Amino acid sequence: MNWDHIEGNWRQFKGAVLDRWGKLTGDDFDRIAGSREKLLGVLQERYGQAREVVEKQVEEFRAGWSAVGK
């Protein structure tokens, strides 16, 4: 599944994103609005991790959705 699909269905994916990254707030979700770049930035802020680390996590998240056909 590509990120365009996730962005287009952001409301449906918010629960899964929150399950994976529980420190995100409602304001964070509003700010992200499905944007991969904004998600990366917010994750860096909330978790204090390097960009490479959060990029890998987000890619694993996206790939996981592809693997189960969601």
Query: Each residue of 17-32: pLDDT tens digit?
Result: 999 999 999 999 999 9
pLDDT on residue 66? 63
Give residue 1's pLDDT: 73
Predicted pLDDT of residue 54: 97
| 62, 6 contact by CB (below 8 A) | yes
The CATH number of whichever domain residue 11 belongs to comes to: 1.10.1470.10
pLDDT digits (tens, 9 = 90+) for 4-57: 888 888 888 888 999 999 999 999 999 999 999 999 999 999 999 999 999 999
Number of structural domains (the chain) is 1
Given a cut of 50, whether residue 70 has pLDDT beyond it is no
Structural domain span for residue 61: 3-67
Q: Which DSSP string do the residues of 7-46 spell out, in sequence order?
A: HHTHHHHHHHHHHH-TT--HHHHHHHTT-HHHHHHHHHHH
